[in-house]
Chains A and B, each alone.
Chain A
Amino acid sequence: MDPSEVEFVAEKEMVTIIPNFSLDKIYLIGLLLFHRCCIKWVHRMGDLGPFNPGLPVNVPVWLALNLKQRQKCRIVPPEWMDVEKLEEIREQERKEDMFTPMPSSHYMELTKLLLNHASDNIPRADEIRTLVKDIWDTRVAKLRLSADSFISQQEAHAKLDNLTLMEINTSRMFLLDSLDCMYKLRTNLLSRGGAPKGHDY
Chain B
Amino acid sequence: MPAERKALRYGHSEGHTDVCFDDTGRYIVTCGSDGDVRIWEGLDDDDPKSINVGERAYSVALKNGKLVTAVSNNTVQLHTFPEGDPDGILTRFTTNANHVTFNGDGSRVAAGSSDFMVKIVEVSDSSQQKTLRGHQAPILSVAFDPKDEFLGSSSCDGSVAVWKIDDQVQVVSWNVLQKSSDVSNAKSLCRLAWQPGFGKLLAVPADKSVQLYERNSWNNVSRLSDDFIAQPVNVVAWSPCGKFLAAATIGGFIVVWDVDTKQCIERQKHEKGYTVCGLSWHPSGGQIVYTDTEGCLGLLDGVAASSPQHGSKNNEVVNKAMGNYDDLFDEDDDGHLAEDLSENGLAANTVTGGGNEDDEDDDLMPSTGRPRNRGAFLDDDDDTSVDAGSVKYENDGRVGTPLPSVPCPAVSQPRYEGPMPTPPQKPFQPGSTPVHLMHRFLVWNSVGIVRGYNDEQDNAVDVEFHDTSVHHAMHLTNTLGHTMADMSQEAVLLACEGTDELASKIQCLHFSSWDTNKEWMVDLPKEENAKALCLGQGWAAVATSALLVRIFSIGGLQREIFSLPGPAVCMAGHGQQLLIAYHRGTGFDGEQALGVQLLQFGQKKRQVIHGEPLPLSQKSYLSWMGFSAEGTPCFVDSEGTVRMLNRSLGNTWTPVCSTRESCKGTSDHYWVVGVHENPQQLRCIPCKGSRFPPTLPRPAVAILPFKLPFCQTATEKGHMEEQYWRSLLFQNHLDFLSSSGYEIDEEARSKGQKEQQELLMKMFALSCKLERELRCMELAELMTHSVVTLAIRYATRSHRMALAQRLGELALEKATAQHEEDHEDDEEQSELPSTRQMSGMTPSSRKPLSLGISGGKQSKEPALKPLVPRPKSKVTQGIIMVAQVCFLRYNTVGYRGNSLHLSVPFSSRPKTGFQLWLEENRKRILADKPDLDETDIIKEAMSLFRALSAEDRLVGVHTACQWVSLCVFEVLYCKFAFSVDLGCEQNVKWGTRLCSTAALVLCPKGCWLSPSPLFHCRKP
Contact = CB atoms under 8 A, between A and B. Distances in A.
A198 to B, nearest CB: 54
B703 A55 contact: yes
B703 A53 contact: no
B467 A76 contact: no
Nearest to A54: B466
Interface stretch (A16-24, A155-163, A168-176): A16-24
Interface string B457-488: 00000000111110000000000000000000
A72 B468 CA distance: 8
Interface residues of B, number: 14
Contact of A123 (B466, B683, B697): B697
A53 B466 contact: yes
A183 B465 CA distance: 65
Nearest to A52: B466
A56 B703 CA distance: 9
B700 A18 contact: yes
Contacts of A20: 465-468
A72 B465 CA distance: 12
Contacts of B466: 20, 52-54
A21 B701 contact: no
Interface string B592-621: 000000000000000000000000000000
A123 B446 CA distance: 25
B462 to A, nearest CB: 14
A18 B702 CA distance: 11
Nearest to A50: B679
A158 B702 CA distance: 45
A22 B467 contact: yes
Contacts of A71: 468
Contacts of A55: 683, 701, 703
Interface in B530-560: none
Interface string B433-473: 00000000000001010000000000000000111110000
Contacts of B446: 54
Contacts of B465: 20, 53
A54 B684 CA distance: 11
A21 B702 CA distance: 18
B701 A56 contact: yes
B469 A21 contact: yes
Interface string A62-73: 000000000110
A22 B683 CA distance: 16
Contacts of B700: 16, 18, 56, 76
Nearest to B448: A54
Nearest to A22: B467
B705 to A, nearest CB: 14
Interface string B672-711: 0000000000010000000000000110111100000000
A56 B681 CA distance: 13
Interface of A, secondary structure class, is loop
Nearest to B697: A123
A21 B683 contact: no
B467 A21 contact: yes
Interface in A3-55: 16, 18, 20-22, 52-55
Contacts of A74: 698
Contacts of B698: 74
A74 B701 CA distance: 13
B701 A54 contact: yes
A55 B465 CA distance: 12
Nearest to B676: A52
Counting chain A CB atoms within 10 Å of each CB, the highest count among B448, B467, B697, B698 belongs to B467
Interface in B199-224: none
A20 B701 CA distance: 13
A21 B703 CA distance: 18
Contacts of A76: 700
A105 B446 CA distance: 36
Contacts of B701: 18, 54-56
Nearest to B673: A54
A56 B698 CA distance: 12
Counting chain B CB atoms within 10 Å of each CB, the highest count among A16, A20, A54, A55 belongs to A54
B697 to A, nearest CB: 5
Contact of B467 (A16, A53, A56): A53
A52 B447 CA distance: 11
Interface in B757-808: none
B468 to A, nearest CB: 4
A69 B468 CA distance: 15
B664 to A, nearest CB: 15
Nearest to B444: A54
B138 to A, nearest CB: 34
Contacts of A18: 700-701
Counting chain B CB atoms within 10 Å of each CB, the highest count among A16, A22, A55 belongs to A55
A74 B700 CA distance: 11
A123 B697 CA distance: 8
Contacts of B703: 55
Nearest to B674: A54
A72 B703 CA distance: 21
A16 B698 CA distance: 14
A50 to B, nearest CB: 9
Interface string B843-864: 0000000000000000000000
Nearest to A121: B698
A76 B699 CA distance: 10
A76 B698 CA distance: 9
Interface in B699-748: 700-703
A68 B628 CA distance: 30
Interface string A157-193: 0000000000000000000000000000000000000
A76 B468 CA distance: 18
Contacts of A54: 446, 448, 466-467, 701
Nearest to A82: B697
B468 A21 contact: yes
A18 B683 CA distance: 13
A14 to B, nearest CB: 15
Contacts of A22: 467, 469
B896 to A, nearest CB: 42
Contacts of B448: 54
A21 B698 CA distance: 18
A28 to B, nearest CB: 21
A72 B698 CA distance: 17
A27 B1 CA distance: 62
Nearest to B470: A53
Interface string B544-588: 000000000000000000000000000000000000000000000
Nearest to B446: A54
B607 to A, nearest CB: 33
Nearest to B703: A55
A53 to B, nearest CB: 4
Nearest to A55: B701
B116 to A, nearest CB: 39
Contacts of A72: 468
Nearest to A74: B698
Contacts of A56: 700-702
Contacts of A16: 700
Contacts of B697: 123
B681 to A, nearest CB: 8
Given A54-B446, A54-B448, A74-B698, 5 more contacts: A21-B467, A22-B467, A53-B465, A53-B466, A71-B468
Interface of B: 446, 448, 465-469, 683, 697-698, 700-703
9 contacts: A20-B465, A21-B469, A22-B467, A22-B469, A53-B465, A54-B448, A55-B683, A56-B701, A76-B700
Nearest 10 interchain pairs by C-beta? A54-B466, A53-B466, A53-B467, A20-B468, A123-B697, A56-B700, A22-B467, A55-B701, A76-B700, A20-B467
